[in-house]
Structure formats: C-alpha cells, structure tokens
A and B are shown apart, each in its own frame.
Chain A
Amino acid sequence: MINQSRTEEEIRALVDEYSQLIFRISYCILCNRDDAEDAVQETLLKYLTKAPEFNGEEHKKAWLIKVAANISKNMLMLRVRRDTFSLEDFKNIGICDCDIDSLEVIMGLPPKYKFVLTLYYVEGYKCREIAEIVGISEEAVRKRLQKGRELLKKEMERNELS
C-alpha cells in the first residue's frame, strides 16, 4: 500500500538521496543508461509501495541495493539484444572522453564481479555485508573480489598494450 502521507517533497528528497547509488549499481549490471534509469525508477517505486520496516539507515540502503540489483538482473535477462557501448551514453553518465576506453574495459567485466567490486571499493561495504546483500557466503564474496581484481588487471593491461 502506498503511504498516503508521502508528499512530493519527500519523493524528491528520496530521489536526491538514493538515485545516484541505485543508478551506479544498475548501470554496472545493465551497461545502458536508459535501462539503468528505468531500474532506478522501478526500485524507488517499489520502495514507495512495498518497503518493509527498516532497522536503520544502513538496512534501508542495503534493501535498496538488493532490490536494484534484482530488478537490473531481471531486466538483463529480458533484454534480447546486447547493447553496444556508445560514446553518447558514456558522456551522459558523467564520464569524460579521456576515460571512455577504461570504462569500456570495466563495463566488459561480468556483472557479478562488477557488482561485488562496486559494493566493496566504491560503496565501502565489508565482505560480510556484501554477502548479506547478494545472498551468498562471505567466502564466495572474497572469491568474487579476487577473481574480479584479476580480470580487471588482465583486461586493463591488455587495453594498455593494444
């Protein structure tokens, strides 16, 4: 049920506070700006309509990340064609021309590694917290981090050589 007391200001404040985080997570999985924006909208709509009681700010943030990741993965499965990266798309998400090659390499990594790497290095979550969000063991998170780092290093070195 939608909370009747939510005002426009509250919705705008919610978008201001969480849309960047959700967009980053969704973009890492979907590699497409428009789809990531749709995922942000779906996630926040789900929050407005179906959010449970939260124990605190961190719990709420973790819930949003989990929902965003699930929505993005579902969208990825439903998408028939695989989008190619476009320069326009990269510019629209705040990446400058000189960084486009590197971002293309990063976005080429499998989503499960990008997701865990983003939560660990960008959002600052600990392995235990990531394990709870993703729904895998701590050991599996560590393995994904290790494998993700190796893949990233390999791909970046290959990109520098070419």
Chain B
Amino acid sequence: MKSIREFTRLISQISLSDDDKERIADNLIKKTSAKKDFPRKQVAVASAAVIVAAGVCIPVMLRSGNRTRYNISHV
C-alpha cells in the first residue's frame, strides 16, 4: 500500500498555477467571443439567397439575351 499512498500523494500534487489558469481562461474567452462574433447563420442565409437569385436570374438573362438577338436579326 506504500506505493499507492505515494501515487495518491504525488498525483494530488499535480496542479496548474494561477497564471496558467488565467491564460486558459483568457484563451477560452477569446475563442468563444470570436465564434460569437462570426455570424454563421447570417452568412449561410446570405449564401443561400445569392445561389437562389443566381439560379433565377441567370436563365432569365440568358433567355432575354436570346430574344434580343432574335429580335435584332429580324429588324
């Protein structure tokens, strides 16, 4: 049991200093606030809107372009 007592005593001694704790807390605050600032949801909605708009506008523009060329050839 002596070895176990020694094990318990030494493992219990393993610790972080107050400076280490403060550094960890600062990093966590920085990381979480950085993620908070990044508007993932808004970016996703905006991207989806751009894709839908492009999907609608590009075929319309292409069709209107064809019509214009057709009209011009007849003029």
Chain A interfacial positions (CB closer than 8 Å to B): 2, 4, 6, 8, 11-12, 15-16, 19-20, 23-24, 27-28, 37, 40-41, 44-45, 48-49, 92-95, 99, 102-103, 106, 117-118, 121-122, 149, 152-153, 156-157
Contact = CB atoms under 8 A, between A and B. Distances in A.
Secondary structure at the B interface, as helix, strand, loop or mixed, is helix
A107 to B, nearest CB: 9
B13 A99 contact: yes
Contact of B12 (A2, A8, A122): A122
Secondary structure at the A interface, as helix, strand, loop or mixed, is helix
B3 to A, nearest CB: 4
A122 B8 contact: yes
Contact of A24 (B6, B14, B28, B31): B14
A45 B72 CA distance: 64
Interface residues on B, range: 20 to 34
B3 A11 contact: no
Interface of B: 2-4, 6-8, 10-17, 20-21, 24-25, 27-29, 31-32, 35-36
16 contacts: A2-B35, A8-B29, A23-B15, A24-B12, A27-B14, A93-B14, A93-B15, A93-B16, A94-B14, A94-B15, A94-B17, A99-B10, A121-B7, A122-B11, A152-B4, A153-B3
A28 B11 CA distance: 8
